[in-house]
Amino acid sequence: MPAEQQYFAQKPTSDSNPVPFSLRWRDREYTFFTDSGVFSKGALDYGTRALLEALPSDISGRVLDLGCGWGPVGVLLGAQHPEASIVMADVNERAVQLARDNALHNKVHAQVLQSDGFEHILGQFDLIALNPPIRAGKETVYRLFREAAGHLCPGGALYVVMRKQQGAPSALKYLASMYARVETLSIKGGYRVIKCMEGREQHV
C-alpha cells in the first residue's frame, strides 16, 4: 500500500522519515514535524486549512481534534486559545507521537491519545473538529459522525470539512438525520465546512 494511503492504519508500514516545516498562522510562526504514513506529509493540507479558517474566534472549554494526524488543528487552537482544554486523537500510532511532539515543541498543553474513533476518548466536548479519513471508507467516516453526536456538551458543535467530490452532499444529508442543527459555514476550493449541533439521542 502506498505511504500516502496508510494514514488511517494503526501501525504504518512505511519507513519513518520525519520532515520538519514551518507554518505561519495568525501572526505566529510554528514548526511541525510530519512523516510518511501520516496524512499530509510536509504541508498543511487545503481541507484542514479551510476547517481552521471556519472555526469560531472565541473558543473555550474542551476541544477535540479527532483524527488529528500530526496535530495542526489541536496545536494551533491550543496556541491561540490557551484557556481551552485540548484533546487530540488518532488511530495511527505514528501520528499520535508526532502530534504529541508537535504540541510540546510549540509549547501547547494537550492530551494526545491513540484511539479508533471514540474508543479511548472520555467525556463531552464543546468543540469537535474533524477532517474525516475519506480513504478509510464511508462506513468509518459515518461512524465518526455518529459517535461525535454522543460526545458533545449542550451547546457544543461538531465541525466537519469535506470535498464535494468526496461525498460532501450525501454526508450533509446524513448529518442532518442525526443532528438537529446543521449548516454549511463555507464553501471554498471545493471544500465544505459543516457545523453540526444537538445530536439526536437515537443515533448515538
| Per-residue pLDDT reduced to its tens digit, 147-164 | 999 999 999 999 999 999
Q: What is the pTM of this model?
A: 0.92
Q: Note whether residue 180 is domain-resident.
A: yes
Total domains in the chain come to 1
Q: Note whether residue 11 is domain-resident.
A: no
Q: Note whether residue 111 is domain-resident.
A: yes
Give the domain extent around 116: 17-203
CATH of the domain at 83: 3.40.50.150
| Per-residue pLDDT reduced to its tens digit, 33-69 | 999 999 989 999 999 999 999 999 999 999 999 999 9
Q: What is the percent of the chain with per-residue pLDDT over 90, rounded to a whole number?
A: 82
Full 3-state SS string of the chain: CCHHHCCCCCCCCCCCCCEEEEEEECCEEEEEEECCCCCCCCCCCHHHHHHHHHCCCCCCCEEEEECCCCCHHHHHHHHHCCCCEEEEEECCHHHHHHHHHHHHHCCCCEEEEECCCCCCCCCCEEEEEECCCHHHCHHHHHHHHHHHHCCEEEEEEEEEEEEHHHCHHHHHHHHHCCEEEEEEEEEECCEEEEEEEEECHHHC
